[in-house]
Every structure is written in C-alpha cells, then in structure tokens.
A and B are shown apart, each in its own frame.
Chain A
Amino acid sequence: MVNIYNTKINKDTGVNTNNDKTIKVLSFVLDDQEYGIDINYITTVIENDYSITRVPGTPKFIKGVINLRGDIVPIMELRNKLKLPPVEDTIDTKVIVVDFNEVLLGIKVDKVNEVIEIPKSSFEPLSSISDDENLEYYQGISKVGDKIIILIDIEKIIEI
C-alpha cells in the first residue's frame, strides 16, 4: 500500500488550498490517455493485490468490495465505467481510493503517474473539441507541457 504522500491528505487543511489559482491533481493513465483527479478527494492509492468479494446485483463496472483497513470499500473498474476495452492487470495497475462526501470508492486504473499542479485557468471544457459519450464525467482538459490531461469529475463518477 502506498500513500501518494507520506501522510494522508488532510481535506480540511487541504494541501493545495494555499493557492486557489492552481489545482493539484494526481495523474493516471487509462487506455494510453492521461487523466487527473483532484488530490483533495484522494484518500490513498493502493496496489492491485487485494482480494475482492463480488457483490451480486451491482453494475458490471463494480468489481466488488475489499477490506481496506477495516472499512469495506467498493472497487470500480474505470475502464468499464468509461466503456473502454478491458485489459489484463499488470504490475502497474493501481487503485485510487477517493472519498467524496463520505462516499468511499476505489477506482482501478492502468497506471498512476504523479501529482502535478495545474493552473485552473488552463482548463478548457471538453465539449468544444470532443463528442465523447463520457463527457459528463470530465470537468475539463488541460495541456501540461507536452501532455494532455483530462480532469475527472469525481462527483459524476460517484453518482449511481
């Protein structure tokens, strides 16, 4: 289990609230595209080595639940949620555990990269350049250096 920082991110003191012009995101890869999640919502990042319990009656993109230090946390296959083709898990496969309004959810991604700080003003709405069916799950798109990062809208992802 690895924390993206050595300590848990405190949502109250919020590491990146000292500068409201930029947003700190954890970037990760899914189907060769780079995405980002606002680190304020991230509790921890864990290895893909847990044992999972299938939960009957849940949508396909819910893999099941795991025991995360005594809490039962559902795991979402983000590829499946975004209707991307499935792949075999690799050593890079990780689960980003988010906490949005006390809703805990583990999000399985291909690879976790790094925490980057992006100016808020650099985000553009995706709708102007794409008609992706997943548009509702994206908050915006930003060019960071030579990379393009799509910011995930956690609230929309967590909506059932």
Chain B
Amino acid sequence: MNSEMNTNKYLEVFIEEATENLQNLNQALLELENNPEEEVINSIFRIAHTLKGMSATMGFTKMSKLTHRMEDVFQEVRNNKIKLDSDKIDILFNSLDALESYLKNIVNHGFEGEEEYDHIIEALESFKNKKEEFTHVTKEETPFTKEQSQITKLNIYEVDVIKKAYEMNLKTYYITVNLDKGCVLKSARAYIIFQVLEKYSEIIRTEPPVEDIEDEKFEFSFSVLIISKYPAESLHKELMSVAEVESINITELTKENTVLDTENTALISRGAKKQEPKGNNFQSIKTKDSTIKGGIGIKDKYAEKIKANTIKTVRVDIQKLDVLLNLVGELIIQKSRLEELYDGKNQAYQEAVQYLERIITSLHEAIMKVRMVPIETVFNRFPRMVRDLSKKLNKEIELNMSGEETELDRTIIDEIGEPIVHLLRNSIDHGIENPEERLAKGKSRKGHVDLKAYQEGNNVIIEVADDGEGINIEKVKQKAIEKGMVTFDEASNMSKNEVINLLFKPGMSTAKVISDISGRGVGLDVVKTKIESLGGAVEVESEIGVGTRFIIKLPLTLAMIQALLVYVGGERYAIPLGSIMKIVKIKSEEIKLVQKREVIFLNDSIVPLIRLNKVLECPNESENGNIITAVVINKGGKLFALAVDSLIGQQEIVIKNLGKYLAGLKFISGGTILGDGNVALILDINYIAAS
C-alpha cells in the first residue's frame, strides 16, 4: 500500500519529465535530419538514456526496452558505425511515436499497455546489423587513443589554481570515474564520489559540469580535476570503496607532463593514457570559498556567479494558480461591494478603497504573468507534423516559425493547438501545390508555410500563411451553390470577403480529393467555433496564386474582462466591452421596418435592431418609453444594435462558467458575481450575432 503510494507520487514526476524528454527528443530528431551535428547526436543519446533509466526505475519495461534500443543505435552513431539516412530517421520517429503512446497509456491508465512494437525494435536492431560501410555523419574527428592528448580547456582561474598548487607542492590529478553500467541513480552515486573527493581534495572542475552531473546528463563516466596533498594510490583506494564504481583512472598532472598555457588557457597533458572527454570548452568549476583541505585558498568569484545562476525556478501545479486567480476574483468582487457601500461622504474610506483597487490590480497582473506560458509549447510539435504531412503528400514544404516566445494564458495555450493544426493542415493540403505545379507556375519548388505569433496590445495574433494556390473565390461560390448554402443570385452578388466567410460555415470543403489530412469539410468551422469560444476571432486574407493568410486574434487572458452592465427587462446582463462599438439613444419613430425586421440608421448604414428582452424571453416588459437605448455591436464588420432598458456601467468582471449542468446554452457565455453577491449573466455576442 505504502509503496504503491510512493510510486504514485513519483508517477506524476515521471510523466512530467518523460513528456519533457520526449518533446526534446522530437526536437532533437528534427534537428538531426537537417543538421547531423555531433552535439545533436549526443543530446539524443542522453535523452534516450535518461528515458531508459526513468522508465526502468518505474517498472515500465517495454518503454525501457525500446529506449534501450534507441540508445544502442545512437551509441553506434556516435562511434560512426551507423550512418543515419532519412529512412532510419523515420524509424526513429516511429520509435518516438511508440514512446509517446506508451506515455499516453501511462497517463490515462497508469500502465504502459501491451503493445510491444516489435517491428520498431527489429528495425532499430537491423541498423546495427547492417553496419554500412563506414561513413562519417559528422565532421571528421581524431580518435583519442593517441599518446599525447589534450585533456581540456581550462579557464584562467583554473590555470592559476594549478600553478599555485605547483608552488605549494600539492598534487593535481585528473580523475576519470567509470560507474557500473547497471547503475541507476547515477547522480546520487556521483554525489557520494564528490563527498569522498571533497574530504581529501579540492575539486577544481568537473566534466561534464556539476549541473549536468546533478541532472544525470552524463553517461557512465565523468571526470574531475582536483588538487590534493594525498598520493594517487590512496585516492584510488578511497574512490574504489564507493559502490557501483567500475573503475577509476587517475593521472597526475606534473610540471613535467603538463603544459599550462595561460594565453589560450589550455592544459596539455603528455602521456596520459586514458580516454578523456572530447575537448569542449566547459566552463564550470567547483571551489570552496577559501580554505581547502589540500591547503590552497583561492576565492573564485566566477564560480560563485555561475552557482548563483542555477536553481531559481519553481514548478507549480496549474491548479494552484487557478486557486490564486479565483481568490483574486473574489477580491475584486468584494472590492466592488466596498465601492457600493460608499456613502459619498467619507473621503478616507474612498481613498482606502481606491488604494485597495490599485493593489488588487497589481496582484491580478502579477498572477496573470505567472500563468503565462510561451506558445513554444504548442509550436514544438508542428515541425514534426509538417515533415510527416509533406512526406505523405509528396510536397516540399518549409515551415518557418517565429514568435515562439510569445506568451499566452495557460488556459488558452491548452486549447489553441487544435485550431492551429487544422490551419496548418489546410495550408499544406489545400494551399501549397505539388513541386511540379509550383515550378510550372514559376514559383520555388519548395512551398513555404509561415507560422507567426506576436503580441498586439491586449491581444496575441497568430498567423498561418502559405505561398500556395490561394482561395479560388469562384470555386467556393460554386461549391456553396452545389451544397445549397446560397442561391446562384446570392452568390453572384457576394463580395470576396463574404465568399471567404462561407468557408467557415459547416459543410464546406473545396478540396478536389477528400484526403485523410483535411477536407472532410469539418475543419474551418471548428476552428472558428473554437477560437470564438476562447474570446478570439479569425480572419482570412487570400490572393489567388499568391497564397493565403489566416489571422487568429486571441485575448491575452481569459478569466477577467471589461464589460458593460445593462438592465434588460429588469434583469442585469453583462456585455463584453471589446465587442461594443458605441451606445446610441434612438426615438421609437426612428425605428424602421425592413422585411418585418426592425432596423435603425447609423451614419447612413442600416443596422438591425435586436430587442434583447424578446431574445432573452424576459418575463417583464421593458419600460422604454419613447427613447430607446441601444448598444451597437461590431462583430467581424457586421453591425447590430441591442435594445436595452438602461445602462448600469462599465466594470471589470470575473468570468465564471455556469457549470456543466448548464453547458451549451444559447445567448449566454457565462456568469459573473457582482458586488452585491448576485449573479449576472454574460451575453454571448457571437451567438446573438449569428441568430
């Protein structure tokens, strides 16, 4: 029972970290295809290795088996025994998919499922067996079995320390620790080794850097450069006494076998016989403030600075942030209540409330900032998706992404992925032409899809643009007539924008061939609905032959909005301020009838008048008298006026949903709690506009 609970506790951590690692793996694989650098291969190896260890610890044997095979493959790649080509990378992607589906099972059911993915494992194993003739993937590199070798590049401080050590007759050792291949908690093991080392010596540097060792970002060996007064043999003995240590290699750096070059801060060791890490310019040092057991005292400000830069973030459960945000919501409600209690006389009271308001506003902003997540988390998966799609469709497509750092509220981030996927698929499937077709049109062989995100005022804009065919207005018209959505006459009178808007209606698809990528005629209307439910809007610009651009506009945050409170039939309703164009007062004789529908004239344009008390079926009649107050709404260029009883005022409101029981209401998008503790409903302007 107890152990099960422990596993559950770790399961969450496992899922979180595995998700992160899989995402990194995805990115690294994409990078690998374009740019097979050694560094990328190393990072994939590390990720596979980490995943293997993690899943094995959690008892997910299938996952661990698969990652083990991947790790093997990359081991061979690193040793230049396997050359990766596009087909092999495909298989690696398949392995990634398999891992993702394991993880999905773990998330949903707590276990990895039954699927073995034998074909993938076999395919991975076949990499090794084939062992194509040796071709180097990355830049040529000299094998490191040479007699003379360069240990590492040292910075000036380190060189300084070593020089002082010479002067003080202390010994400098370069120690490589090889851990047992079966070692699971490598970083813990490394920690113990550091403990031992610190007892007898001063560690000048580690390879890889300490942070990486702590994060298990190393294979089974790491190296340290230390200064000590003890002989190598006793250090060897002490270190070998640590469990799970396979072997220890100690090389003493003496004045004779070492060249200290302060010019380029390089340390050359002659006659060092062991393997050593490749010569990266690591820049991490571990020193104590001043006194050391070995007897040297050097304070290293540089090292401290590096240390200060680590560990400064905290992982927070999003639910905790939701609670915080809700509490701020409550604060706002209580504040409006205090405002209502103001008797108009007590100056100090008013000042206190105003000060409170300022604090609440700052608090709200601070919490909103915490909830903001870079859109990168959504964009991450697109390169892979575009790659797969273009392969499948035999198109050549280059995806350019920008503004990944743009931040949006977590709630929106969670929802926005699906609409963007739709638009990207749309661009790739319908927009971009075949390479041959493109060449014939004088375009570049490769199609381009741009995915851009940026902030504009209180909105975030996401653009999906392609340089493909563009929307064929005539074809859309024809289709709409075929489907009976518009008559021939209506279609011929439609403006370009009106025709494009038809694409967002359910049941429209102009793809010649229905593919399984898009073209089921469900795409764009779903996109529109989703984005509007997030309080945003979507627009299209298209030029035939040149391309199409979808522009999604989203609010930065969801939870709180500015709204106009109005009375309708004696009831209070909130209208989101963003959609209101202006307020007008009209005399009842100014209302005209067009096809039995009431309209008013506004700057010479005809605006339909909607009597809200009728739409909302208010039990009480509105008492308007001769003058009617109307709120003019602009929804995507379409104007309409909502007749209300009277205006209450503008207010920042906290949006609350009406609960699952009332989900799917028409006209109402949510509720808010007013200062007096009562509920006011928020009007769904999109729905009212559509009806």
Q: Is the CB of A58 within 8 A of B679?
A: no
Instruction: Say whether A73 faces chain B, with CB atoms less than 8 Å apart.
Output: yes
Q: Is the CB of A66 within 8 A of B679?
A: yes
| A155, B670: Cα distance in complex, Å | 24
Question: Which residues from B are CB-within-8-Å of A85?
Answer: none
The main secondary structure of chain A at its interface with chain B is strand
Q: Which residue of A lies closest to B618 (CB)?
A: A56
Contact check: which of B667, B673, B681 meets A67 at CB < 8 Å? B673
Q: Is the CB of A58 within 8 A of B662?
A: yes
Instruction: Say whether B143 faces chain A, with CB atoms less than 8 Å apart.
Output: no
Instruction: Say whether B677 faces chain A, with CB atoms less than 8 Å apart.
Output: yes
Instruction: Say whether A53 faces chain B, with CB atoms less than 8 Å apart.
Output: yes
Give the interface centre of A71, A72, A73, A105 by most chain B CB atoms within 10 Å.
A72
Q: Is the CB of A103 within 8 A of B661?
A: yes
Minimum C-beta distance from A12 to chain B (A): 14
Contact digits for A39-77, partner B, Cβ 8 Å, 1 yes 0 no: 000000000000101111110001001110011111000
Instruction: Say whether A20 faces chain B, with CB atoms less than 8 Å apart.
Output: no
| A113, B657: Cα distance in complex, Å | 32
Q: Quick one: given A51-B678, A53-B681, are A74 and B662 in contact (CB under 8 Å)?
A: yes
B residues near A (Cβ < 8 Å) are 326, 329-330, 333, 571-572, 615-619, 656-662, 665-668, 671, 673, 677-681
| A33, B458: Cα distance in complex, Å | 57
Question: Which residues from A are CB-within-8-Å of B658?
Answer: 55, 65, 72, 74
Q: Is the CB of B681 within 8 A of A104?
A: no
Minimum C-beta distance from A48 to chain B (A): 16
| Further contacts, 17 of them, CB under 8 A, given A51-B678, A72-B656 | A51-B677, A53-B572, A53-B680, A53-B681, A55-B662, A56-B615, A56-B681, A57-B617, A57-B668, A58-B662, A65-B671, A66-B679, A67-B679, A70-B326, A72-B657, A102-B660, A105-B659
| A103, B330: Cα distance in complex, Å | 22
Contact check: which of B326, B333, B616, B673 meets A72 at CB < 8 Å? B673
| A73, B661: Cα distance in complex, Å | 9
Contact check: which of A51, A70, A74 meets B661 at CB < 8 Å? A74
Instruction: Say whether A91 faces chain B, with CB atoms less than 8 Å apart.
Output: no
Give the interface centre of A54, A58, A104, A105 by most chain B CB atoms within 10 Å.
A54
Q: Is the CB of A74 within 8 A of B679?
A: no
Q: Quick one: given A70-B326, A71-B656, are A54 and B619 in contact (CB under 8 Å)?
A: yes
Give the interface centre of B658, B659, B661 by most chain A CB atoms within 10 Å.
B661
Q: List 11 A-B contacts (CB under 8 A).
A: A53-B681, A54-B619, A55-B668, A56-B616, A56-B667, A62-B662, A72-B679, A74-B658, A74-B661, A103-B661, A105-B659
Instruction: Say whether A160 faces chain B, with CB atoms less than 8 Å apart.
Output: yes
Question: Which residues from A are CB-within-8-Å of B619?
Answer: 54
Minimum C-beta distance from A158 to chain B (A): 7
Contact check: which of A51, A55, A103, A105 meets B681 at CB < 8 Å? A55
Give the interface centre of A56, A67, A104 by most chain B CB atoms within 10 Å.
A56
Question: Which residues from B are CB-within-8-Å of A73?
Answer: 659
| A65, B665: Cα distance in complex, Å | 13
| A142, B435: Cα distance in complex, Å | 75
Question: Which residues from A are CB-within-8-Å of B616?
Answer: 56
Q: Is the CB of A72 within 8 A of B661?
A: no
Minimum C-beta distance from B94 to chain A (A): 38
| A51, B572: Cα distance in complex, Å | 13
Q: Which residue of B lies closest to A103 (CB)?
A: B660
- List A residues 123-140 near B (Cβ within 8 Å): none
| A103, B662: Cα distance in complex, Å | 9
Q: Which residue of A lies closest to B670 (CB)?
A: A72
Q: Which 10 A-B pairs have the closest CB atoms?
A: A53-B679, A56-B616, A103-B660, A72-B671, A57-B666, A67-B673, A74-B661, A72-B656, A103-B661, A51-B678
Q: Is the CB of B661 within 8 A of A54?
A: no
Q: Which residue of A lies closest to B572 (CB)?
A: A53
| A154, B552: Cα distance in complex, Å | 42
| A105, B666: Cα distance in complex, Å | 19
Minimum C-beta distance from A57 to chain B (A): 5
Q: Which residue of A lies closest to B619 (CB)?
A: A54
Q: Quick one: given A67-B673, A70-B326, A72-B673, are A53 and B660 in contact (CB under 8 Å)?
A: no
Question: Which residues from B are CB-within-8-Å of A103?
Answer: 659-661
| A69, B330: Cα distance in complex, Å | 10
Q: Is the CB of B671 within 8 A of A53?
A: yes
Give the interface centre of B326, B665, B679 by most chain A CB atoms within 10 Å.
B679
Q: Which residue of B lies closest to A106 (CB)?
A: B661
| A54, B619: Cα distance in complex, Å | 10
Question: Which residues from B are CB-within-8-Å of A54?
Answer: 571, 619
Minimum C-beta distance from B319 to chain A (A): 14
Q: Quick one: given A53-B678, A66-B679, are A74 and B326 in contact (CB under 8 Å)?
A: no
| A55, B662: Cα distance in complex, Å | 9
| A74, B657: Cα distance in complex, Å | 11
Question: Which residues from A are CB-within-8-Å of B656?
Answer: 70-72
Minimum C-beta distance from B320 to chain A (A): 17
| A53, B326: Cα distance in complex, Å | 21
Q: Which residue of B lies closest to A104 (CB)?
A: B659
Q: Is the CB of A105 within 8 A of B677?
A: no
Q: Is the CB of B326 within 8 A of A65?
A: no
| A27, B679: Cα distance in complex, Å | 30
Question: Which residues from B are CB-within-8-Å of A71?
Answer: 656, 659
Question: Which residues from A are CB-within-8-Å of B665?
Answer: 55, 57-58
Q: Is the CB of B661 within 8 A of A158?
A: yes
Minimum C-beta distance from A156 to chain B (A): 14
Question: Which residues from A are CB-within-8-Å of B673?
Answer: 67, 70, 72
